Structure 1
Amino acid sequence: MLRLFLLLRSSLGALDHFFRYLVPLLVFGLLNGCSSIDYYGQLASGQLQLLQARKPVAELIADPATPAKLRQHLMQAEQARAFASAQLRLPDNRSYRVYADIGRPFVVWNVFATPEFSLEPQTHCFPIAGCVAYRGYYSQGAARGAAALQKQQGLDVYVGGVEAYSTLGWFDDPILSSMLGWGDERLATVIFHELAHQRVYVRDDTAFNESFATFVEQEGTRQWRAARGLQAQSEDDGGQRDQFVTLVLASRERLKTLYASPLTAPAKRAGKQAEFERLRRDYRALRDSQWQGKGRYDAWINAPMNNAKLLPFGLYDQWVPAFAQLFVQAGKDWDVFYRQVEALGKLPREQRRQVLKGFDLSPANRR
């Protein structure tokens, strides 16, 4: 442990802020055993590698040695980043004004887990971010290892790769090489989403935080397209996703009813598998009848299914319609909107949920 402290201290130099952030994490790990020390050690190592890999976007654009394709991506990202602060009133700092090549398709792999007959996630609490519904690993192998251990405990487990994340303003978050395969517009939307987390973040309420950031991403993208004289996204761009999410959320609700029933464990197990097959059938019927057979979610729907795989949908979409209506009530003024969101975030969690439930949460208001 002392070696880890000395190694980090000797290599940080100007990263004193990183060391101040790391100390409480390692102390927290010491209080929770060796497995926690290992986990926080890989978090510290992974974050440090990102910090050391960063290069200013402006310098890369100006450097004639920068590949033309990368330069073009970074120029578009630079414009979206300026728009985020000037028009969307998101934090004006160095985040997403630096770039890091990480040499892998995902920056972290999140591990979600639930009991066999529950859609409540196994939560994990951290000194800075509070409690969240997953654990992140910088190594895919480590994530799979953690998932295997949880499966042995009888949990439903899902491992999902993540191309970007926010440190909530603690560090200057970089544009990552893992983000560049999406296309320039998707890159812009992720920048809006992650900066939204820096603007408002409520401890211990993942659904609130992710739904808020998802709304900022969606509305920010609409305004970003309008500012460049582009048409609004077509129904095919966003409508299919909304319809798919609606299918998954409906399946979640039916599973909740099943798990709350007095059925025996074998009966619940059979009902659970039947529900997953129903979700697949409903998806294929929707795809073939309304999407001209274009199955953009085929790989996801055909892969093995469990409770944990459904978790991200509820977390990222639950309150989006409420935030959309709150934005309208704020006169579509971003500063007013953020103040109202901050006020909501200060309420006790159950009171906050009741306020959000007071909005029309029907699928038609999801976007």
Structure 2
Amino acid sequence: MLRSSSGALDLFLRRLVPLLLGVLLNGCVSVSYYGQLATGQLQLLQARKPVPEVLADPATPPALRAHLEQAEQARAFASEHLKLPDNRSYRVYADIGRPFVVWNVFATPEFSLEAQTHCFPIAGCVAYRGYYSQGAARGAAALQKQQGLDVYIGGVEAYSTLGWFDDPILNTMLRWGDERLATVIFHELAHQRVYVQDDTAFNESFATFVEQEGTRQWRAARGLAANTGDDSRQRDQFVGLVLASRERLKTLYAAPLTEPAKRAGKQAEFERLRRDYRVLRDTQWKGVGPYDAWINAPMNNAKLLPFGLYDQWVPAFAALFAQVGGDWQAFYQRVETLGRLPLDQRHQALRSIPPVGAGSPRD
């Protein structure tokens, strides 16, 4: 049985509070920020129910029941076939009554694409701060804007506590459809399997590869045809546009120009990105633009930060998986070995992995 609310509180006090107190005593961040993290995580723990209990409840809506039944099958596949952690994560459900579980706030200087980083227990240093309240995220963003920073707020539907708690399937995850729900379960469990502090690109690329290969195998196990890849191709093309724009901005900011000239060049680059997107949409996507809302909204440096983090090293991990003949346990061992290297050596090792050849195994 899942722990009761008092049990969840006891677990919370034993695991999380000592870490938060240690950080607060060292003066790393404000009491109010860590207070909202603690409150938000505790509310999440208290909202959980075992999936079998939700399925057995006659009042459970049919649509929710169907989603959770599919999620149960994907969760079992994750441990049995993908060799991901076999624990209670994603075997519990929580309805938190809002569209996102947290809102991440990204910030950069006006003429830089270097993120303002923040360091935390367990997770290490990351390029954002997370807030369980949208209002709190907006308040933090407003303060950073007053300091002259570029700021962007992004809603997050799911995250991993890296095995410290039993992470639930959230109501925020259910609007994607059953296959996308399965891929997120694979992705988040991958973070529990391997996680390296202070290397977001490594962690996210690894989890993204596990998600992609896991989904391919999940479809094959159910006798479904391989995904056509149209959505993935569009995403890759869009990310390519954004990364190219980011490189041009880096060149602009490094140039010996006045601030007004850089400011004008920055806005001109954002307009170029919008034009390039529209050309791509109208010539290759038949006029249907899944990223229209994003591209037409206000633009700044911070909004470009998340791009590239999730897929920078995916080809290297795919090649590594092929090298071990598709053996998941051997693959994880190789990834763990890479994770123990110093950052520069780790990235050099990833760059040196030969790309997947035509004869690589894809069982």
Deviates more, 1:141-150 or 1:325-334: 325-334
Relative to the length of structure 2, the TM-score reads: 0.93
Which digits, 9 at most, give the CA deviation of each residue in 1:6-63, with x for residues without a partner? xxxxx74454332122222123123327x61101110000000010000000111122
Write the distance in 1 (CA, Å) between the matches of 2:231 and 2:224. 14
Q: Which moved more, 1:238-247 or 1:139-148?
A: 238-247
**Which residue is equivalent to 2:128?**
134
Superposition map of 1:208-223 within 5 A: 208-223=202-217
Distance in 1, Cα, partners of 2:323 & 2:266: 41
The amino acid across from 1:206 in the alignment is T
Equivalent position amino acid for 1:98 in 2: V
TM-score between the two structures when normalised by the length of structure 1: 0.92
Residue 20 of structure 2 is matched in structure 1 by 25
Rounded Cα–Cα distance in structure 1 between residues aligned with 2:300 and 2:353: 30
Please give the alpha-carbon distance, in whole angstroms, between the structure 2 residues aligned to 1:340 and 1:264: 48
Is 1:96 aligned to residue 90 of structure 2? Answer: yes
Match of 1:147 among 141, 152, 168: 141
CA distance in 1, matches of 2:317, 2:284: 28
CA distance in structure 1 between the partners assigned to 2:252 and 2:162 by the alignment: 38
- Kindly, what percent of the aligned residue pairs are identical? 81
Partners of 2:113 and 2:50 in 1: how far apart? 42
Distance 1:29 1:155 in 2: 25
Once the two structures are superposed, residues 117-166 of structure 1 have per-residue CA deviations (whole angstroms, 9 ceiling, x without a partner) of: 11111110012211111100000000000001111111111000000000
Instruction: Give, as a single letter, the amino acid of the residue that structure 1 aligns with 2:174.
Output: L
Kindly report which structure 2 residues correspond to 1:1-367, keeping only aligned pairs within 5 A, or say none: 12-20=6-14, 21-32=16-27, 36-359=30-353
Question: CA separation in 2, counterparts of 1:336 and 1:175?
Answer: 28
Amino acid at match of 2:157: E
Contact 1:42 1:138 in 2 (8 A): yes
The one-letter code matched in structure 2 to 1:283 is Y
Q: What is the DSSP-based 3-state SS (H/G/I as helix, E as strand, rest coil) of the residue aligned with 1:313?
A: coil
Structure 2: gaps of 5 or more residues = 357-363
Structure 1: which amino acid aligns with 2:67?
A: H
- CA shift in 2, pair 1:227/1:13, >3 Å: closer
Aligned to 2:165, what secondary structure does the other structure show? coil
Judge conservation of contact 2:319–2:355 (CA < 8 Å) in 1: no
CA distance in 2, matches of 1:14, 1:90: 24
- Name which of structure 1's ranges 79-88 and 234-243 shifts more when overlaid on structure 2: 234-243
1:229-273 deviation digits (Å, cap 9, x = unpaired)? 111111322111111111111111111122222222222211111
- Aligned partners of 2:21 and 2:6: how far apart in 1? 16
Report Cα offsets for 1:50-101 as digits up to 9, x if no partner. 1000000011112222111110000000000001111111100000000000
| 1:226 alignment partner, SS class | helix
Greater Cα offset, 246-255 or 23-32: 23-32
Residue aligned with 1:315, SS = coil
User: What is the rounded CA distance, in whole Å, between the counterparts of 2:355 and 2:291 in structure 1?
Assistant: 24
Between the aligned partners of 1:116 and 1:135, the Cα distance in structure 2 is 18
Q: 1: distance between equivalents of 2:311 and 2:151?
A: 20
How many residues are aligned here?
A: 351
Mapped contact 1:30–1:37 kept (Cα < 8 A): no
**Aligned CA distance change for structure 1 residues 13 and 97 (closer, same or farther; 3 Å):** closer
Structure with greater proportional helix content: 1
Unaligned runs of 5+ in 1: 1-10, 363-367
Residue 244 to residue 69, structure 1, CA distance change in 2 (3 Å): same
Q: CA RMSD in A?
A: 1.6
Contact 1:121 1:311 in 2 (8 A): yes
**Is the 8 Å Cα contact of residues 75 and 91 (structure 2) preserved in structure 1?**
yes
Give the secondary-structure state (helix, strand or coil) at the position aligned to 2:298: coil
Q: CA deviation at 1:359?
A: 4.3
